[in-house]
């Protein structure tokens, strides 16, 4: 007992067992003791059955190989994909950092444009690359914006610059149609097309390229590497710009045929109004040009362009940009060309004006230029319609004969010009300004002008009898009249009206060839003039424009004129012209009285002479016919009202005309032109003076002795016999 008290007893927790006996001092009811923990045995993988037999071994070999390949491909693939993603990301970031503001990208032209206005300030022609000014996608007509999206990229607002669905669809179509995957449909988005228009940010540098055409061709090249670059650049644009900004660049840069860059220029040229006013039918037509601008240009083939537009209308309807009713309205009322675009008048005139202005403001301009001209579109159309009508109704089918017309005011302002049978042509040979042709008897008025200016009168007499011309060193020439008849003494008026050759030579020799040459050159005949007797019969060559301008000097009372078409030239957006008229009235050549008497004499040509087919009921008409050696050239130049008009007809290769003289088809063309020009105009008399009785002065008769000809004129003179004997009027 004593020993127990001195030692602290150890406390032992009682263990109780639910439902069992308690231990010493316990009362029962605890948790049973934990079972000893056993280490978990490792899970064994199910053992693969070993292959048995040849098929089993083969199957195992194939399966193992496939598993190994998959592991290798996956291991390489995700690493390669990651590397590509990094490279693409770097490329996108690099391009995005280099992209300039949108306003710097909308006009990528290397050259400027020229817009030509008629005398009423209405546009009639365009030259160069037209750019109508920057337009924003948010400001153009929704019809235009929707048409472009429906046609070129219906998922434009959803993709990041590249459309995998579109690419896959394009490849499928190309392969199914037997083409290579990259030929035909490209699946390019509007963003990718814009990247191509920007040439992936590479600007045109003239010194690095043979031409701008070569540069653009290189930008349009399609290779796998170029497509990859294009895709990266497109994604960079999506990163740098908004969708509306990308569409803005596209709408301004796209080429749409007929020299138009951007939808604003195209809308103005084809429809006569801006892109903000485009209708559904017009929007469809413009969007349809994107596939093939030259092929579908409405100025080339309106019906084909309208057919293409109908397809676009269907796309717009399918994509809910148009209701069925709106689509039906667009199909029923297809887009039409503006009057200026439809008429396409004045192509030859526009070419001439472009050639007459300074190159740095016309053909080679880097600016946008506005040129006001003298063209009268009503008169231009009259000349075109007249030429077309005569060739369709009076010329044998298959004939390759050509003709040209010039109509101008008495001060030299050209109002209309046709340079060939194809009246809609431009950029081709202009027979009104570029063809140097012998003038024949159309030159004779200058002989009579010199005579009248020196004091002769219309009723003075000249000897129409056989003539021998002795030229030392060249021999004797005995010219003839076209009818092989000689009428003895005739008045100057009769000689001119009947276009008799002998009197013209006698008058020229009487007043002096140099005086005749001086009068002709001062009136504007700038070509080399023959020095021998052939001068009087039009052996020299000239252009129709020169001849018509020289006749204008007679109409205005005897003062020279310089034909002109350019009134003034200014830069687009500027009010002050940079240059003005380069022609018009010049110095006096002959006395006004002489000019008025000459006009009266020329009126007799039409009233009773070789030019009767040029008569116009109710109008005074004066003019002169001309037919050259072997009928290779036929002319009629004359006046009516306030206008002078000239007509030339012949073959480009100098083939003789069959049965044509200046008093025939050229007079017909002149008549048809002037009837249209004068329609609705107040009748205006010609400024002519009816002469009194002449003095009866007689020009010397008999043989004419001439001095030796200059060497340069001997070749011309050697054809005198043929000219004299072959001239028809």
In whole angstroms, what is the distance from residue 729 CA to residue 726 CA? Answer: 9
Cα 568–Cα 574–Cα 577 angle in degrees, nearest 5? 25
Mean predicted confidence (pLDDT) in 149-157: 94
Cα 427–Cα 430–Cα 436 angle in degrees, nearest 5? 145
Pairing of strands 368-373, 113-117: parallel
Residue 240 located in a structural domain: yes
Residue 400 located in a structural domain: no
Q: Tokens 């390949």 identify what position?
A: 69
Residue 399 located in a structural domain: no
The answer, yes or no, to whether residue 585 has pLDDT greater than 60, is: yes
DSSP 566-629: EEEEEETT-SS-SEE---EEEEE-S-HHHHHHHHHHHHHHHHHSTTGGG--TTS-EEEEEEE-G
State whether 453 and 322 are in the same domain. no
State whether 623 and 544 are in the same domain. yes
Residue 584 forms beta bridges with which residues? Answer: 562
Instruction: Render the burial of 7-32: b for 16+ CB within 10 Å, e for the rest.
Output: eeeeeeeeebeeeeeeeeeeeeebee
State whether 431 and 325 are in the same domain. no
State whether 191 and 308 are in the same domain. yes
Query: Is residue 32 within 8 Å of 18, Cβ to Cβ?
Result: yes
471 vs 681, higher pLDDT: 681
The mean of the pLDDT values for the chain is 85
Question: Which of 318, 343, 368 is the C-terminal boundary of a domain?
Answer: 343
* Token couple for 273: 């109004």
The answer, yes or no, to whether residue 11 has pLDDT greater than 50, is: no
* Token couple for 689: 């003076």
Query: Is residue 195 within 8 Å of 237, Cβ to Cβ?
Result: yes
CATH of the domain at 151: 1.10.3810.10
Range with the largest mean pLDDT of 19-23, 56-60, 182-186, 309-313: 309-313
Confidence tier at 560 by pLDDT (50, 70, 90): very high
Range with the largest mean pLDDT of 55-64, 79-88, 479-488, 619-628: 619-628
State whether 460 and 587 are in the same domain. yes
Residue 685 located in a structural domain: no
Which burial class, exposed, middle or buried, applies to 485 when counting CB atoms under 10 A from its CB (0-12, 13-18, 19+)? exposed
Question: Which of 327, 343, 359 is the C-terminal boundary of a domain?
Answer: 343
294 by DSSP, 3-state: which?
Answer: helix
In whole angstroms, what is the distance from residue 686 CA to residue 192 CA? Answer: 67
CATH of the domain at 640: 3.40.710.10
What domain range includes position 626? 405-678
Residue 182 located in a structural domain: yes
Residue 10 located in a structural domain: no
State whether 430 and 305 are in the same domain. no
pTM here? Answer: 0.78
Cα-atom radius of gyration of the chain, to the nearest Å?
A: 45
Note the pLDDT tens digit of each residue in 99-139: 999 989 998 787 889 999 999 999 999 988 888 889 999 99
Start-end of H helices in 180-292 = 190-197, 212-219, 224-240, 243-253, 263-271, 280-288
Question: Which of 298, 315, 343 is the C-terminal boundary of a domain?
Answer: 343
State whether 330 and 437 are in the same domain. no
State whether 489 and 582 are in the same domain. yes
Task: Count H helices and E strands in the chain, helices first.
Answer: 25, 21
Mean predicted confidence (pLDDT) in 167-176: 75
DSSP 620-667: -EEEEEEE-GGG-EEEEEEEETTEEEEEEEE-TT-PPPSS--TTTHHH
Instruction: Taking the CA atoms of 594, 600, 602 and 608 in sequence, report the sign of the dihedral they define.
Output: negative
State whether 320 and 423 are in the same domain. no
Residue 390 located in a structural domain: no
State whether 306 and 420 are in the same domain. no
Residue 220 located in a structural domain: yes
**Largest CA-CA distance found in the chain, in angstroms, rounded:** 194
How crowded is residue 702: how many other Cβ atoms within 10 Å of its Cβ? 11
Q: What per-residue confidence (pLDDT) applies to 182?
A: 60
Q: Into how many domains does the chain fold?
A: 2
State whether 445 and 548 are in the same domain. yes
717 vs 459, higher pLDDT: 459
The answer, yes or no, to whether residue 49 has pLDDT greater than 80, is: no
State whether 149 and 222 are in the same domain. yes
Tell me which H or E stretch contains 725.
Answer: helix 720-726
């Amino acid at each position: 007992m004593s020993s127990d008290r001195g030692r602290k007893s150890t406390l032992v927790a009682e263990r109780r067992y639910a439902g069992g006996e308690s231990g010493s001092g316990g009362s029962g009811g605890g948790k049973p003791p934990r079972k000893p923990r056993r280490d978990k045995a490792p899970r064994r993988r199910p053992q693969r059955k070993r292959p048995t037999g040849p098929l089993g071994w083969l199957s195992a070999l194939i399966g193992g190989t496939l598993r190994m390949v998959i592991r290798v491909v996956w291991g390489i693939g995700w690493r390669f994909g990651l590397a590509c993603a990094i490279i693409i990301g770097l490329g996108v970031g690099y391009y995005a950092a280099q992209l300039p503001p949108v306003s710097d990208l909308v006009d990528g032209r290397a050259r400027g444009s020229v817009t030509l206005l008629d005398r009423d300030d209405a546009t009639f022609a365009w030259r160069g690359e037209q750019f109508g000014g920057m337009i924003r996608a948010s400001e153009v007509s929704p019809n235009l914006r929707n048409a472009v999206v429906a046609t070129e990229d219906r998922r434009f607002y959803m993709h990041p610059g590249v459309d995998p669905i579109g690419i896959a669809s394009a490849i499928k179509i190309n392969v199914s149609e037997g083409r290579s995957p990259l030929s035909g449909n490209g699946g390019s988005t509007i963003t990718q097309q814009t990247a191509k228009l920007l040439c992936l940010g590479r600007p045109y540098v003239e010194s690095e390229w043979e031409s701008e055409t070569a540069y653009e061709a290189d930008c349009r090249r399609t290779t796998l590497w170029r497509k990859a670059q294009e895709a990266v650049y497109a994604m960079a644009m999506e990163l740098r710009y908004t969708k509306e900004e990308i569409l803005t660049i596209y709408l301004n840069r796209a080429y749409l045929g007929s020299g138009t860059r951007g939808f604003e220029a195209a809308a103005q040229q084809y429809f006569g109004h801006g892109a903000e006013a485009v209708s559904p039918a017009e929007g469809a037509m413009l969007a349809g040009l994107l596939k093939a601008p030259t092929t579908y240009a409405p100025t080339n083939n309106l019906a084909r362009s309208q057919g293409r537009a109908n397809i676009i209308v269907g796309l717009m309807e399918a994509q809910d940009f148009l209701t069925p009713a709106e689509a039906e309205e667009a199909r029923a009322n297809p887009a039409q060309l503006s009057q200026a675009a439809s008429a396409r008048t004045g192509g030859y005139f526009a070419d001439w004006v472009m050639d007459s202005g300074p190159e740095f403001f016309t053909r080679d301009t880097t600016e946008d230029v506005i040129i006001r001209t003298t063209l009268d579109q009503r008169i231009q159309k009259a000349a075109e319609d007249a030429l077309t009508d005569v060739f369709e109704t009076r010329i044998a089918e298959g004939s390759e004969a050509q003709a040209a017309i010039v109509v101008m005011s008495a001060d030299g302002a050209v109002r209309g010009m046709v340079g060939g049978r194809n009246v809609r042509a431009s950029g081709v040979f202009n027979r009104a300004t570029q063809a140097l042709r012998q003038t024949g008897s159309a030159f004779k008025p200058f002989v009579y002008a010199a005579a009248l200016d020196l004091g002769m009168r219309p009723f003075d007499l000249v000897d129409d009898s056989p003539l021998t011309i002795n030229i030392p060193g060249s021999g004797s020439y005995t010219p003839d009249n076209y009818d092989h008849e000689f009428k003895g003494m005739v008045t100057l008026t009769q000689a001119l009206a009947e276009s008799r050759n002998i009197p013209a030579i006698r008058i020229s020799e009487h007043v002096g060839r140099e005086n005749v040459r001086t009068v002709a050159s001062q009136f504007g005949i700038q070509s080399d003039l023959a020095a021998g007797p052939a001068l009087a019969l039009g052996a020299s060559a000239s252009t129709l424009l020169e001849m018509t301008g020289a006749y204008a000097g007679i109409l205005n009372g005897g003062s020279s004129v310089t034909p002109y078409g350019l009134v003034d030239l200014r830069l687009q957006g500027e009010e002050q012209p940079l240059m003005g008229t380069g022609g018009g009235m010049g110095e006096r050549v002959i006395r006004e009285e002489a000019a008025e008497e000459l006009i009266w004499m020329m009126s007799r040509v039409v009233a009773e002479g070789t030019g009767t087919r040029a008569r116009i009921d109710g109008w005074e008409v004066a003019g002169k016919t001309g037919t050259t050696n072997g009928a290779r050239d036929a002319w009629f130049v004359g006046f009516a009202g306030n206008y002078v008009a000239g007509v030339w007809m012949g073959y480009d290769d100098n083939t003789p005309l069959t049965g044509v003289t200046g008093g025939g088809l050229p007079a017909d063309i002149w008549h048809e032109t002037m009837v249209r020009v004068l329609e609705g105009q107040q009748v205006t008399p010609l400024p002519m003076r009816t002469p009194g009785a002449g003095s009866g002065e007689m020009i010397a008769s008999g043989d004419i002795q001439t001095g030796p000809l200059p060497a340069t004129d001997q070749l011309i003179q050697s054809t005198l016999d043929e000219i004299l004997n072959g001239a028809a009027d």
